[in-house]
Amino acid sequence: MRPDWDSYFMKIAYAVSERSTCDRALVGCVLVLEKRILTTGFNGSPMGQPHCEDVGHLMVDEHCVRTIHAETNAIIQAALHGVSTKGSTCYVTHLPCINCTKALINAGIARLVYSVAYRTDENAMNFLKAANIEICQKDYTPA
């Protein structure tokens, strides 16, 4: 049976998450426009910097600050390659944090599809609603 589009892109987001180099949360993100993948991103260190899996976590206030989140990495990839994200859908394995939420809003996403409600931030949810971004939780269990 063919998967629906949301299931298809969520499966890809989970495949992207396998590249994450910070094991505190293996997160993958896929930005899609008109059923075409624009960019992907996963949790990892800035280019040329050591990864958590190699040197350990850099913890500040219970957060690993060595890592750039998957959503931000997907947006950065779009910027590096001159790809507009306006009107796109963000498929992400975990509900975005407040900082990624703000970046996604400013990147012009129109829809957010996530699987895991990880550390739900009420302010982030309010920002998404105020920006008229459609929010959809898609139950997905990786194979």
Active site residues: 71
Contact 55, 30 (CB under 8 A): no
